[in-house]
Amino acid sequence: MNTRCPYCNYLATEHETLDNQKNPKEGDISFCIECGEVSKYFEGCLIPVDVYDLDKATRKEIRGIQTAWLRTKMILKTKQNRKVLKGEKP
């Protein structure tokens, strides 16, 4: 199943939902690995969602994912920058 991020238009082909199901179902929360925004699965596509409308447990879970995602992104970026400094192609 393919979905498109409503924020950055990133096309996601692989899905793992918060409760570890393979495909999103109605009302599921989705996290974009490209831009880090949160959206909701609604009538077959993703719509933007305000994190503050979600319950506390879900917000906490999302914060954890976002922290891990940011860390990974920073590590990748640092590696890329090092290569640029050394004159290698990123």
Please report, as ranges, the residues that interact with Zn ion according to CB under 5 A.
5, 7-8, 10, 32, 34-35
Residue 35 or 74: the one with the smaller Cβ distance to Zn ion is 35
Closest approach, Cβ 41 to Zn ion, in A, equals: 14
Handedness of CA 20, 54, 52, 11 (dihedral sign): positive
What token pair was written down for 12? Answer: 């996601």
- For the residues of 68-87, what is the DSSP string, one character each? HHHHHHHHHHHHHHHHHHTT
Residue 50 or 88: the one with the smaller Cβ distance to Zn ion is 50
Closest approach, Cβ 30 to Zn ion, in A, equals: 9
Side-chain-facing half-sphere of 51: CA atoms under 13 Å = 13
Residue 7 or 59: the one with the smaller Cβ distance to Zn ion is 7
